[in-house]
Amino acid sequence: MANNNGAGLHSPLGLLAELTHRCPLGCPYCSNPIALEPRTDELDTQTWARVFAEAAGLGVLQVHLSGGEPGARRDLVDIMTAAHAAGLYTNLITSAVGITVPTLQRLAEAGLDHVQISIQDSERASADHIAGYAGAFARKRALAAEVVALRIPLTVNAVMHRANIDRIGEMVALALALGASRVEIAHVQYYGWALKNRAALMPSAEQVARAAAAVEELRKKHHGQIVIDAVVPDYYARLPKPCVGGWGRRSLNVTPAGKVLPCHAAESIPGLEFWSVREHSLADIWANSPAFNAFRGTDWMQEPCRSCERRDIDFGGCRCQAFALTGDARATDPVCHLSPRHQEVAALAAVQRDEAYDYRRM
Amino acid sequence: MNETASAIPPDARPRLPRGVRLVHNEAQGGWVLLAPERVFKADAIAAEVVKRCTGDTTFAAIVDDLAKAFSAPRERILADVTPLLRGLADKRLLEL
């Protein structure tokens, strides 16, 4: 989709702006890194505005205002307004806890294009337990209703794991009842916090098979009514997911302190040198930062990826997962059935324990 | 394309819902339809069709206009545009 700007460099399409790592929830699969960045290190409003203008200049079309909980930023409306002024499609990714109705109204007036609300389960008690926050479920329902009342399109993000994967049908029904036009059935990806909690989150093979059948059925039943996006959970897949659409190819991620990453988990790979928007322009970082060039294209690949006919389709899978499971970030993602380490993934998936979550805390 | 797409009423007024925008972007190589967390590349013809989906114009008038613009038989335009718009509506990218 993206154009070649010569020398094999594509224009990025999307920018994930992690405005803060502060969050009232404690989800045990949080995609933020284990080492969270403190409030005192966060970029100010003006710097975000500059980043958005530079992103638009690079060809970025959509900005995802995320966190942590973006509502923890008092200047959220100003930040969103700056993104809109840069011509970007603005998407707010929120836990819904911490966004007040007046803030939402001001965001709507400022042109917010879309809202994604995470919902931890279709049952209140379980949802609040997973979020580690009593009352979260009710607040999410309430904010979702406000989003729909303001006629902003709503996506429900449902992260699935052993405790809730048997209720996909109920989650989709809840999304429909809330007036969402899209629901993401997002299986936990095991990096950072989720890796710590892997045994407690891992679904069984039977659960995964039932979930796949349920999604198929629900898509037929609700065709044209709600978009259901779902993928096979990593550890039960035969083919790896295409790492962020290709490393340094379609998207970039700016951390609360201004580090620019090829994906939100990239800091889990040791030895990568990330540049900051405090010292470099986004265009300079995109083209020249060592971290972005580390796994760009296919030259870095080893066998079996190097000669694989799918190398330009799934890009060898996920670099962070390859490192997490093999200790070598250049290895074939072991989720791939062609990886010599593929059998180990099944063995890891078989480790399932009903133990207390190690909640994400700052 | 699905050739059995069900007919669109001539008096329908197709429009892009809030959260879906058609934009032209040089860096991305032309027309793109921006939607919730998704981006779709639109070829020149799809862009011409979607541009006319403003909510003000009836489907019949859009087909008439396209037939004129492309100097093509109205039936052919109708046969091409119906599955295009039905497909967009199924993806919640268009309201009919």
pLDDT digits (tens, 9 = 90+) for A341-359: 999 999 999 999 999 999 9
Whole-angstrom distance between the N-terminal and C-terminal Cα of chain B? 19
pLDDT tens for A279-312 read: 999 999 999 999 999 999 999 999 999 999 999 9
Residue A5: predicted pLDDT: 39
Please state, rounded to an integer, the average pLDDT across all residues of chain A: 95
Residue A6: predicted pLDDT: 40
A91 contacts chain B (CB < 8 A)? yes
On the question of pLDDT at A136 being above 60, the answer is yes
| Residue whose token pair is 């509502």 | A71
pTM: 0.93
H or E, element range at A103: helix A101-109
Residue A156: predicted pLDDT: 98
* Mean pLDDT computed over A2-26: 81
Residues of chain A with C-beta less than 8 angstroms from the C-beta of B25: 59, 61
On the question of pLDDT at B65 being above 70, the answer is yes
Task: Name which of A59, A152, A224 is nearest B19 (Cβ-Cβ).
Answer: A152
Residue B4: predicted pLDDT: 67
On the question of pLDDT at A135 being above 60, the answer is yes
Contact B36 A155 (CB under 8 A): yes
> ipTM > 0.90?
no
On the question of pLDDT at A232 being above 90, the answer is no
| Residue whose token pair is 């939100």 | A264
B91 contacts chain A (CB < 8 A)? yes
Rounded (5°) CA angle B53-B58-B64: 90
* Mean pLDDT computed over A234-259: 94
Short-list B86, B96, B92, B82, CA closest to B33: B92
B91 contact partners, CB below 8 Å, separation of at least 6: A227, B35
A1 contacts chain B (CB < 8 A)? yes
A114, A228, A229, best to mutate vs chain B, most B CBs in 10 Å: A114
Contact A1 B28 (CB under 8 A): yes
Instruction: Answer yes or no: are the C-beta atoms of A183 and A175 closer than 8 Å.
Output: yes
Shortest Cα distance, chain B CAs vs residue A106, angstroms: 16
On the question of pLDDT at A141 being above 50, the answer is yes
The alpha carbon of B78 is separated from its chain's Cα centroid by a whole number of angstroms, namely 11
On the question of pLDDT at A131 being above 60, the answer is yes
Task: Name which of B29, B36, B39 is nearest A3 (Cβ-Cβ).
Answer: B29
Residues of chain B with C-beta less than 8 angstroms from the C-beta of A114: 19, 36-37
The β-bridge partners of B34 are B21, B39
Per-position DSSP letters for A230-278, written without gaps between them = E---GGG-SS---GGGSTTTSEEEE-TTSBEESSTTGGGSTT----BTT
On the question of pLDDT at A327 being above 70, the answer is yes
Amino acid found at A151: R
The β-bridge partners of A14 are A62, A251
Calpha distance B35→A114 (Å, rounded): 8
The pLDDT-based confidence of A235 (bands split at 50, 70, 90) is very high
* Mean pLDDT computed over A65-83: 97
The pLDDT-based confidence of A2 (bands split at 50, 70, 90) is very low
pLDDT tens for B5-56 read: 789 999 999 999 999 999 999 888 899 999 998 899 999 899 999 999 999 9
pLDDT tens for A177-188 read: 999 999 999 999
- Tell me which residues of chain B, numbers 23 to 82, contact chain A at a CB-CB cutoff of 8 Å: 23, 25-29, 32, 34, 36-37, 39, 41
Burial of B69 (0-12, 13-18, 19+ CB in 10 A): exposed
Amino acid found at A165: I
A95 contact partners, CB below 8 Å, separation of at least 6: A23, A24, A25, A69, A71, A117, A118, A131, A136, A140
A6 contacts chain B (CB < 8 A)? no
Short-list A126, A14, A123, A113, CA closest to A60: A14
Helices (H), B1-96: 44-51, 59-69, 74-90
Tokens of residue A208, six digits: 């995964």
